Structure 1
Amino acid sequence: MPSREPAAPPGDNHPLVDVLTAHGARSDRLTHLRTLPARDGEHADWPGWADPALVAGCRAQGVERPWTHQVTAAEATWRGQHVALATSTGSGKSLAFWLPALTAVRAARHTTAADAGRIEARTRGATVLYLSPTKALAADQLTGLTGLLDAAGIRDVRTATCDGDTPREERRWVVDHADVVLTNPDFLHFALLPQHRRWTRLLRGLRYVVVDEGHTYRGVFGAHVALVLRRLARLVEHLGGRAPTVVVASATTADPAVSAARLIGVPPEEVTAVTADSSPAGRRTVALWRPPEIAGFGVERAGASDLDPGADAWALPDPLDPQAHETDTVLTSTGEADHPRRSATAEVADLLADLAAHGARTLAFTRSRRGAESVAQQTRDHLRPVSPDLAGRVAAYRGGYLPEERRELEEALRSGALLGLATTNALELGVDISGLDAVLVAGWPGTRMSLWQQAGRAGRAGADGLVAFVAREDPLDTYLVTHPEAVFDAPLEACVFDPANPYVLAPQLCAAAQELPLRADGLARFGDPGQVREILDVLVARGALRRRPSGWYWTHAQPAADLADLRGSGGRPVRVVEAATGRLLGTVDAGSADGQVHDGAVYTHQGVTFVVDHLDLADHVALVVRRDVDHATWSRELMEISIAEPGDAEHPAPEGAPPARRREWGPVAWGLGPVEVTSQVVSFQRRRVPDMQVLDTEALDLPQRTLGTTAVWWSVPDFVLRAAGVDDDVAPGALHAAEHAAIGLLPLLATCDRWDLGGVSTAQHPDTGEATVFVYDAYPGGAGFAERGYELGARWLRAVRDAVDACPCADGCPACVQSPKCGNENSPLDKAAAVRLLDAVLSHAPSS
């Protein structure tokens, strides 16, 4: 039964709780309600070194005195100490780094002006580089920075954004004149560092580097960015500058100093952690919410509001999320779930409509692009009979929109022109959206860090706010809404990434060698010198680098930076273009294109439907035709997995990859090591909306994709299966169910979510000769998640076993063993046999 806490007295509840519960009619869906207390602010005096004009500008904007944590971080930054600033959303982190950075720029400019007659004065200016994970956040920061400088009457600090969208003429001005450059790691990697001679003025004077939203740099992306920052520091020193001071601004995380130090490439003791948040916060009421069971029995009786084309069971990952390679889009069949529950997206659409009707400004976070479009469309449909004007004040926001569309939506939400915005995690980051009344979260966002980042959008600037986490039918979501202590009382996650990952380190070393030849005495900058040398030897053997007595050189004509895929997206994004007009509608990341914009796929953009006429993988474009249709489409993907053992000519382990590890629980063998995953989108279904009846299935001719990554696996011999009552007929279903549940529960132990992982199970795998379950990182080279599963194997499988056994369904459901990404249409699955199998495996686990 759901864990319930007595509700606070009616007068203490947020007034919008009554809207959520429909004045009691939906109270049975509320599994837990907790009010987090308000927090008073604590002020400090402005630092004596702070530029007086800047201080006056802050006061003109209403900041009479800064918060204590802002001053603590600013003082450490001014002293030249690296800083990890990890405080809550809306706590004013920007002021903490802009105050010392802009003061330094102005001080250097005045010094240079005084020495204008001297030749070296041209290169003495101080510069600042601001890095954010998205272009939108950099643009938003520029808006705030420009407002501060205008309020201060400062005209001698030149600021600009510069990224892949910046026109050539503007980029030339930035190169020659900008004191503060706001960009992203991608531009730094692909453009600025390879062309560092053009950027000598900026790099030689670089005093501060700000890395914003540092908690997003995890997995392969975090490892790449860590090495990009090492390349940056190397070039700054080569050009005659001094190593810049780095400020990593982040959501509240575990061990922020350790994560920031790994990102920067320095020992943790060289990083000052500022974690005590002294900004004021209003009360925040947080509701855990489980959608109801669907009345009646079966899909055929479900209404349009219960099952929808954006339902989580078919949601594909957003490109800002890591890409999974275990993909499917199959509806729960009535034979596999006794009481299917309403989808989280359908439930959130109802709640968003009710909140909008009450005038509450609300963000609804979804797990996918499709989910965002679906929530927005259903909300508009609910509101249209009430008020067409009100329906027009709800929209979708997601990655893949054009920049100008995103800016318009952000401004409309700020101004109140929009009351409701259904969004992916694209708005989780620091874009300044304040004054919101409520936040809805449709499905676990992956980490507690992300949940509290999203929740922080409600009630900013000291106002009270309401947050509702609405569970999907998923083992992890079900567990969390019935175990509130896992949401409220468990520690936050640390950011996990490994700069020594050879899949990441090898291309980054090539990029560094092209910028500046690698010398033996400088290898320690990139990690353990011995490991770096081993990878360099491999690169030389493969002809990527040339070894000379003076070092390692890149001697090819093509840019070395092109070898590194920072975000693990699989290549260039695919542009979605309207065939009749040539209008660019948006983009889809390369890793999702086969499944989302294949020939015949339905593509939705702000409620308008298009059908893909042709996907051209060579030119990275999907041509679409505007068409009203009564169906949606779902793709099917098949995959195989092979263990890459040393000496295996057919499936060799990647050069420089960490060695495979193995341990035994009696007859049960555990493995961790490199694998090769081959996947292919082979077909798609058209399903009528809203009843989801399959209209037809069409084959697709798309290429195979191969992913070299890291997996954890466990193998069980036949006699253990037989002793558990798992014979040849039920073994595939037992293993498949255990695999799904294992993927769903690993995020409890690792800093990841389900979309970071993939899995394969088989009754007899050719590489092990036994029944085997694989769970792998859905990133090239791995991201550390499978390794975490290997290290905590017994704890992990016990949680899996208990979650499956505790689920009240008879045969398996999305809350325990069914997967929203299964490539085999969630068949076969055998819940009872999975429990027997897991009991047998755990009976051999070490007692410790």
Structure 2
Amino acid sequence: MWRGQPVSDTDALLDVLRAGGRRADRLTHVEHIPARAGEQVDWPAWADRSIVAGYRALGVERPWRHQAEAADAAWSGRHTVIATSTGSGKSLAFWLPALTAVRADIGAGILDPGRIESVQRRGSVLYLCPTKALAADQLVALDRLLTAAHSRDLRVATCDGDTAVSERRWVQDYADVVLTNPDFLHFALLPGHRRWARLLASLRYVVVDECHAFRGVFGAHVALVLRRLRRLAEYYGTGPGPTFVLASATTSDPAASAARLLGVDADDVVAVTADASPAGRKTFALWQPPELPGAAAPWSSAPLEIDPWATDVGGADPWATVGGADPGPVGPRRGTGTGTGAGADASPWSAVEDDPERPRRSATAEIAELLADLTVAGARTLAFTRSRRAAESVATVTQRHLIAVDRRLAGQVAAYRGGYLPEERRALEASIRNGTLRALATTNALELGVDISGLDVVLIAGWPGTRVSLWQQAGRAGRAGADGLVALVAREDPLDTFLVHHPEAIFATPVEATVFDPANPYVLAPHLCAAAAELPLRAEELALFGADTRALLDVLVERGALRRRPSGWYWTHHESAARLTNLRGTGGDPVRVVEESTGRMLGTVDAAAADATVHPGAVYVHQGTTFVVNELNLADSVALVGQRTVDFGTWARWMTSIEIRATTEERDWGPVTWGFGQVDVTTQVMSFQRKKIPEMRVLGTETLDLPARTLTTTAVWWTAPASVLTEAGITAEVAPGALHAAEHASIGLLPLLATCDRWDLGGVSTALHVDTEQATVFVYDGYPGGAGFAERGFRLGATWLRATREAIATCRCASGCPACVQSPKCGNANNPLEKAAAIRLLDAVLAHAPAGT
């Protein structure tokens, strides 16, 4: 344990990580990102004086140039996107014009109180963000600003699915600024638009915060919700409609992404991307945990395959079809396989190691040790983990380390994750802000814009999946112009190993674009029904939803979903059209975790994860306190737990299968068969093991009687019969690795052709599938009913596989890397993979492609 005087400069903190040299060999690379001077400008002349005074009272003497440029563009009525770094003050850019507009309307009403229209036209603002937590954080910040500005006549409120009916009525009748999320718009506000007529008729600005989070199918859904909002605002309003202001992390081509989200031309969006805020020097360390001295090490030093916390994906379904999973290569019997843990990002039974005889310490165990040393050194730290379970583990183990030094320090470390009650999350956020807590072990719940500044260090346990997420998390260190230290600690996975030894893949590669397709008919169709239920669709409105809308409406009429009348398209069913789709692609109500003896609700677990995490007998950890589940009532979505001190943990085991339900289309390339159709991807939690901690000795296995969960979706697949494998020189031993590598690369390449996100897809490869009776590669849409991506792959099969083959063959790595065949979401820890055999396999398959394809 490092012990020393409190330190805050990054060089000293980096020495804390190195433990004065004892851990120096774990540091694979240090990147120094230079400091940046800020550039301030004068407040815009149009800005409300009281709002400006409020900002000055809070310490913002003058705005940064990018804030003023974005605010000016928005004030002039231009749709605006501001895409700058974490902590650059994006919120000022949208609140300054929005609050100024509302204050001007309030002032007009005061100056001429006799005119009733001045009251009716008092402007309003709608703020949208991906999470309730961020909306609550913005409410606190706005209250602080308005109090400092002495502008309490401006009424601000949050409104979401948790808001009581009486509060909701007040918001409908009186609120000037409403903070909510796209889900509430979709399910409540837009379908009930007549009750929200005042807000819609007076809407001046719509703020879309953290808009880079709206990607993939979720982004397509949100884009269509915003189109429906624009349509209703135009119906109730008298002017050109509200101005949209979007705030984003640094992404590729933010103007194009914002325009696609809003349904306008890119030329109609002003993009502000030059960050003029000051930034301290950022020191970015890449870190690889050490090899273990022996196999008998305790669990806190265990390799990935026996680390109990390293493989959960925080509330995700163990097979993770929603959001796109790759369960890895599986055997016959419809691709049936087994898994362990509560996540599909890695299988703890098949971890890949640099040297299987010398495994490395887990990232979570390493993070806990580093976090303890940083806390002793007086640093304020966030440790990002890949899962809810890992966040609890890192906090608990860090506290144990600290008790040996000073018991008081243990109380300065806590966990933060989704599933906590809102009041718990607010208390934790306040504690890390005011210094009561010095460290939080967190999931990506703190990646988005919740305002937590003044942090010295960010630790990241494992590659977060995208460069956008990496820089969002890293941006928490050294905010407000201070220096900061970031350390990416590699998990025992080839993807992470590659990255910490190839810094150019992180620092010399641009961030990703935000990818989504609002024209996807699988997504568009239910939103057209919802729009028609809100107001009958008119022919002149169809361009708002895209060029192919008319053809899709004809299909919906033919299937009886809508009725065509001379005046437009009508929804005539009794059911709510909004219930036809879920924006986030998940199903079922969250399962409430309730302490049986007191009735106290501890938190929630996503419905998809409940079977694997809160089954009867499961150990549930909440802020370091252990509970055991007594009963899981799926009908009522409740898990009853009792507090118990136990020396064991529990790990669920499940089986997954993929079955072809219907082949919609099929084509032959000689011996190779391409198929597209409906599949069932089924998982069932079968049993769980109790393992004693820390030695991880199995205490027993119990069977469970839980229902199978089936995702019905669409998939594209191609087969490789024995003759093709022979042509490629692929033996039975090598075939699983070749198929698996081809599957990974094809998933990575399909977004180039299908306008989707890699995380919207799932895949399975198997050397023998019972339905095809041959070696088969499946790629499926990770959403119920399908989303059109697999169908696009089927249509462009030859182009898709040629691009896949070239991506693998032209990669300079020797045996496979994240740029070609490794996947950040592999359910089998990227094992086995055979790069050279995959190239030969794809060559053999493409040799049978018809001429001209």
TM class by shorter chain equals 0.7 to 0.9
Matched residue, 1:402? 421
Give 2:173's match in structure 1, choosing from 156, 173, 176.
Answer: 176
1:574 aligns with 2:575: no
Give 1:638's match in structure 2, choosing from 633, 648, 655.
Answer: 655
Post-superposition shift, 1:324? Answer: 4.8
Indicate conservation of the 8 Å contact 1:318/1:369, yes or no.
yes
Indicate conservation of the 8 Å contact 1:740/1:819, yes or no.
no
Post-superposition shift, 1:752? Answer: 9.5
Matched residue, 1:273? 271
| Deviation larger for 238-247 or 330-339 | 330-339
Distance in 1 separating the partners of 2:49 and 2:833: 68
Indicate conservation of the 8 Å contact 1:476/1:744, yes or no.
no
Give 1:284's match in structure 2, choosing from 268, 282, 285.
Answer: 282
1:549 aligns with 2:578: no
1:681 aligns with 2:692: no
Instruction: Check 1:449–1:631 CA distance in 2 against 1; reply closer, same or farther (3 A cut).
Output: same
Matched residue, 1:363? 382
Post-superposition shift, 1:819? Answer: 9.3
Distance in 2 separating the partners of 1:108 and 1:335: 63
Instruction: Check 1:486–1:126 CA distance in 2 against 1; reply closer, same or farther (3 A cut).
Output: same
Distance in 2 separating the partners of 1:152 and 1:746: 51
Indicate conservation of the 8 Å contact 1:801/1:839, yes or no.
no
Indicate conservation of the 8 Å contact 1:310/1:374, yes or no.
no
Post-superposition shift, 1:803? Answer: 9.1
Give 2:86's match in structure 1, choosing from 82, 89, 106.
Answer: 89
Instruction: Check 1:289–1:573 CA distance in 2 against 1; reply closer, same or farther (3 A cut).
Output: same
Matched residue, 1:346? 365
Give 2:121's match in structure 1, choosing from 120, 124, 131.
Answer: 124
Instruction: Check 1:634–1:818 CA distance in 2 against 1; reply closer, same or farther (3 A cut).
Output: farther
Q: Which amino acid aligns with 1:191?
A: A
Post-superposition shift, 1:574? Answer: 1.4
Indicate conservation of the 8 Å contact 1:328/1:821, yes or no.
no
Alignment RMSD, CA only? Answer: 3.5
State the Cα deviation string for residues 171-215 of structure 1 (Å, max 9, x = none): 222111111111111111111111111111111000100000011
Instruction: Check 1:797–1:472 CA distance in 2 against 1; reply closer, same or farther (3 A cut).
Output: farther
Give 2:301's match in structure 1, choosing from 296, 299, 305.
Answer: 305
Matched residue, 2:336? none
Indicate conservation of the 8 Å contact 1:439/1:466, yes or no.
yes
Matched residue, 1:722? 726
1:424 aligns with 2:425: no
Distance in 2 separating the partners of 1:52 and 1:219: 41
Indicate conservation of the 8 Å contact 1:307/1:346, yes or no.
no
Distance in 2 separating the partners of 1:440 and 1:747: 30
1:552-631 to 2 correspondences below 5 Å: 552-631=569-648
1:651 aligns with 2:662: yes
Instruction: Check 1:74–1:710 CA distance in 2 against 1; reply closer, same or farther (3 A cut).
Output: farther
Post-superposition shift, 1:792? Answer: 6.2
Post-superposition shift, 1:569? Answer: 2.0
Provide the secondary structure at the position in 2 that maps to 1:48: coil
Indicate conservation of the 8 Å contact 1:804/1:831, yes or no.
no
1:519-530 to 2 correspondences below 5 Å: 519-528=538-547
Matched residue, 1:451? 470
Post-superposition shift, 1:602? Answer: 2.0
Q: Which amino acid aligns with 1:412?
A: S
Q: Which amino acid aligns with 2:286?
A: L
Give 1:76's match in structure 2, choosing from 73, 84, 87.
Answer: 73
Give 2:496's match in structure 1, choosing from 473, 477, 501.
Answer: 477
Distance in 2 separating the partners of 1:819 and 1:96: 35
Q: Which amino acid aligns with 2:132?
A: K
Provide the secondary structure at the position in 2 that maps to 1:499: coil
1:448-847 to 2 correspondences below 5 Å: 448-528=467-547, 531-642=548-659, 650-651=661-662, 675-709=679-713, 711=715, 713-728=717-732, 731-732=735-736, 735-736=739-740, 739=743, 757-765=761-769, 770-780=774-784, 781-782=786-787, 793=801, 796=804, 806=814, 822=827, 835-842=836-843
Provide the secondary structure at the position in 1 that maps to 2:228: helix
1:159 aligns with 2:156: yes
State the Cα deviation string for residues 792-825 of structure 1 (Å, max 9, x = none): 65565566689998569xxx99x99899864xx8
Indicate conservation of the 8 Å contact 1:312/1:820, yes or no.
no
Q: Which amino acid aligns with 2:510?
A: P
| Deviation larger for 331-340 or 70-79 | 331-340
Indicate conservation of the 8 Å contact 1:317/1:755, yes or no.
no
Post-superposition shift, 1:154? Answer: 1.5
Post-superposition shift, 1:638? Answer: 2.8
Indicate conservation of the 8 Å contact 1:295/1:302, yes or no.
no
1:4-43 to 2 correspondences below 5 Å: 14-43=11-40
Which consecutive unaligned segments of at least 5 residues does structure 2 have? Answer: 1-7, 328-338, 342-346
Indicate conservation of the 8 Å contact 1:498/1:783, yes or no.
no
Post-superposition shift, 1:652? Answer: 6.4
Provide the secondary structure at the position in 2 that maps to 1:681: strand
Instruction: Check 1:287–1:779 CA distance in 2 against 1; reply closer, same or farther (3 A cut).
Output: farther
Distance in 1 separating the partners of 2:750 and 2:413: 35
State the Cα deviation string for residues 328-377 of structure 1 (Å, max 9, x = none): 43534699833322111111111111111101000000111011111111
Post-superposition shift, 1:155? Answer: 2.7
1:380 aligns with 2:399: yes
Distance in 2 separating the partners of 1:22 and 1:793: 49
Distance in 1 separating the partners of 2:9 and 2:782: 45
Post-superposition shift, 1:306? Answer: 2.6
Distance in 1 separating the partners of 2:49 and 2:608: 50
Distance in 1 separating the partners of 2:544 and 2:749: 37
Distance in 2 separating the partners of 1:232 and 1:818: 37
Indicate conservation of the 8 Å contact 1:711/1:787, yes or no.
no
Distance in 2 separating the partners of 1:696 and 1:742: 40
Q: Which amino acid aligns with 2:277?
A: S
Indicate conservation of the 8 Å contact 2:299/2:307, yes or no.
no
State the Cα deviation string for residues 487-511 of structure 1 (Å, max 9, x = none): 0110110111121233322222222
Matched residue, 2:335? none
Indicate conservation of the 8 Å contact 1:684/1:697, yes or no.
yes
Post-superposition shift, 1:566? Answer: 1.1
| Deviation larger for 546-555 or 263-272 | 546-555
State the Cα deviation string for residues 535-571 of structure 1 (Å, max 9, x = none): 4344444444333333332233332222221112223
Distance in 2 separating the partners of 1:365 and 1:502: 37
Instruction: Check 1:457–1:514 CA distance in 2 against 1; reply closer, same or farther (3 A cut).
Output: same
Matched residue, 1:249? 247
Identity of aligned residues (%): 63
Matched residue, 1:414? 433
| Deviation larger for 574-583 or 445-454 | 574-583
Which consecutive unaligned segments of at least 5 residues does structure 1 have? Answer: 1-10, 644-649, 654-659
Distance in 2 separating the partners of 1:525 and 1:375: 48
Provide the secondary structure at the position in 1 that maps to 2:420: coil
Indicate conservation of the 8 Å contact 1:32/1:481, yes or no.
yes
Indicate conservation of the 8 Å contact 2:128/2:181, yes or no.
yes
Distance in 2 separating the partners of 1:535 and 1:583: 49
Q: Which amino acid aligns with 2:33?
A: L
Matched residue, 1:656? none
| Deviation larger for 167-176 or 388-397 | 167-176
1:231-250 to 2 correspondences below 5 Å: 231-242=228-239, 243-250=241-248
Q: Which amino acid aligns with 2:141?
A: G
Instruction: Check 1:820–1:339 CA distance in 2 against 1; reply closer, same or farther (3 A cut).
Output: farther
- TM-score normalised over the length of structure 2: 0.87
Distance in 1 separating the partners of 2:36 and 2:249: 17
